[in-house]
Amino acid sequence: MRGIIKERLFTPGPTPLLMEAQARTLTATLHHRTEAFRQLMRETLENLRYFFNTHNDVLIFTSSGTGAMEGAVANLLSPGDRVLVGTAGKFGERWVELAKVYGIEAVTVEAPYGHPLDVGEIRTRLESDGPFRAVFVQATETSTAVAHDVEAIGAVVRKYPETCLVVDAITGLGTTDLRPEEWGLDIMVGGSQKAFMIPPGLAFASVSAKAWKLIEKSKLPRYYFDFAKERKSLAKGEASYTPATTLVVSLHEALKYIRQIGRENLIANASMLAEATRAAARALGLRLFAVSSPASAVTAICAPEGMDSGLIVKEVRARFGAIVANGQGSMKGKIFRLAHLGYYDAADLFAVVAALEIVLLKLGQKVELGSGVRAAQEIYLQRCA
């Protein structure tokens, strides 16, 4: 019997859509050069600052998150500048590629896949190998499911008045406590298809006063991702170029929902789901890929010895419609990843863990049915008394 199978996204972006925000776009016949849109934009910007936990400017671009990452490079730096990049996975490596494209020398501090960046090494590099115009890191490295200690990195970088800290918080936002002013996160980048609960297409960047000073003096070419120009436009409630109007409408609606839930609760929700997922994996005898500093955005689970993780991904989808992510690059076939960022709840997790148990059993593993779910339930009970 093959009955009903609903599709369920468990990937770290795109993530499940908030239907109320989707529905709102259906009646949005806005033109972007009208007062109605400006009003919507101003409210959206205010709620974005709430979500970013900052009074810094937050810019919006119609692009993927990578666009705002490129913007951070192109707006902060000048030819001849050197940067320090912390890499611990695919997205860390993206900072290196971006620097290279703009002819910027990138010195790297590398952590093995599955491990967080060594803050001491970043400190040493800054002391012995500078000056660096900027330090680029991830808040959470999605490819390995690791959280970096951006608070500690911020404390190191803020001692250098001519060095900005740029944080790719694309999956960190809404899953991790982030404090741009307090911790000195000068530029923080986000993307709409993550904890924002809306489709891909918008990128965000918060920019500190310290970063604006560097931006004024920087000489790399930029046009579409010109931060200063965008700040001027947004001050009028406008975008420099035609924005993805329906996505802005979705965002406006989703941010209202997020304010209602509360930023701290959204983060605690992801953290609870991540902890419950780790407990479930351990109960099922599965190894976690990120042990010392796991992210709350996504959990990377190692396939059982000798099994291709792609098999699990395939079977969970075929049997239960659950779309989980394989590993990327060299981790493909070795891990699979379950996301917790955005519109996920405890019942979603119970369902996918029960599904995973069945799939592992069908793939020949020894599984005590219900034991992973029980471990997840126990974490739920500890966290949601």
Residues making contact with its own copies (CB under 8 A): 1-6, 8, 19, 26, 261, 265-266, 268-269, 272, 319-322, 343-348, 350-352, 354-355, 357-358, 361-362, 368-374, 376-378, 380-381, 383-384
Residue (122 or 266) nearer to its own copies, CB: 266
Q: How far is the CB of 337 from its own copies (least distance, A)?
A: 18
What pairing do the DSSP bridges indicate for beta strands 82-87 and 105-110?
A: parallel
- Of the candidates 237, 191, 192, which has an alpha carbon nearest to the alpha carbon of residue 43? 237
In angstroms, give the least distance from the CB of 370 to its own copies.
3
- The label of the residue with tokens 């795109």 reads 14
CB of 218 to its own copies, least distance (A): 40
CB-nearer residue toward its own copies: 163 or 245: 245
**Cβ at position 372, least distance to its own copies in Å:** 8
CB atoms within 10 A of CB 205: 28
Smallest separation, CB 50 to its own copies (Å): 17
> Smallest Cα–Cα separation from 263: which of 151, 145, 348, 178?
178
Decide if 203 contacts 190 (C-beta within 8 A): yes
- Closer of 152 and 351 to its own copies (Cβ): 351
Toward its own copies, which CB reaches closer, 48 or 266? 266
Q: How far is the CB of 6 from its own copies (least distance, A)?
A: 5
DSSP state of 331: G
Distance set, CA 324 to CA 75, 117, 186, 235 (Å): 35, 26, 33, 40
CA 321 to chain centroid, in Å, comes to: 24
Q: Smaller CB distance to its own copies: residue 245 or 296?
A: 296
* Rounded Cα distance, 74 and 268, in Å: 34
Nearer to its own copies, 152 or 358 (CB): 358
